[in-house]
Amino acid sequence: HEDANKPRRVLLKLSGEAFGGGKVGIDTTVIRRIAQEIHAAVAQGVQVAIVVGGGNFFRGAELQQAGIERTRGDYMGMLGTVMNCLALQDFLEQEGQATRVQTAITMGQVAEPYIPLKAIRHLEKGRVVIFGAGAGMPYFSTDTVSIQRSLEIHCDAVLMGKNGVDCVYTADPRRDPTAKPFKTLSYKRALVDNLAVMDAAALSMARDNDQHILVFGLEQKGNVTKALLGQPIGTLVSN
């Protein structure tokens, strides 16, 4: 995927769970640390685009359980991702890192609309581009959007930052002491064994287009920078 003459360009997926520190709302300590680690990698020449989840605010499927119509709940979920985008933008700007937020639902006062060629231009200028509001469509997930955006703006890899684990295992290591870690993993095995990489729709889009995915732990200090720089951590999912 990587050409030695081209700067490394990656798409970092941050789940809402990471932003909330396990609660509803945002954990500013976590977001500030992630912002510092992103800035450190950009300073070394890596082009960084980010897709932010929104599970720390709302998930459409959960709101549906509570009696809200599914698609309206999904829009609430998408709006939640935008609050996470603005929080991350703020901490990045505090580090002196130039940023742009682009949303899939137009909201001109807080963000640019999603314009892929413009996003690429921002990246080339050393700005971090943060994508909000998912795909702008109900029934999609921010995991699927990560793969789609990464393909459209030509990223070398999608980096999936996870909470609670440092890579993909044969089973959940928090429940099964015999679980074994993977250094590398095929899309097919991840799909067939239903391993915790991303949802199946996202994973099959990655497989069909050979989009490499790195799954790594967000909580260990320095890991975000390492993942962005392409250092060997986590599990690499490819063909």
**Binding residue for ligand UDP, selected from 68, 86, 120, 137, defined by CB under 6 A:** 137
Binding test (CB under 6 A) with ligand UDP, winner from 37, 74, 156, 166? 74
Is 227 marked as a binding-site residue?
no
- Which is nearer to ligand UDP, 73 or 234 (by Cβ)? 73
Nearer to ligand UDP by Cβ, of 74 and 166: the residue is 74
SS (H, E, C) the chain: CCCCCCCCEEEEEECHHHHHCCCCCCCHHHHHHHHHHHHHHHCCCCEEEEEECCCCCCCHHHHHHCCCCHHHHHHHHHHHHHHHHHHHHHHHHHCCCCEEEEECCCCCCCCEECCHHHHHHHHHCCCEEEEECCCCCCCCCHHHHHHHHHHHCCCCEEEEEECCCCCCECCCCCCCCCCCECCEEEHHHHHHCCCCCCCHHHHHHHHHCCCCEEEEECCCCCHHHHHHHCCCCCEEEEC
Q: Is 74 annotated as a binding residue?
A: yes
Residues 24-63, one symbol each (x = binds ligand UDP by CB under 6 A, - = not), give -----------------------------xxx---xx---
Residue (16 or 234) nearer to ligand UDP, CB: 16
Contact call for residue 161 and ligand UDP (CB under 6 A): no
Name the segment binding ligand UDP (CB under 6 A); options: 26-34, 85-93, 134-142, 149-157.
134-142
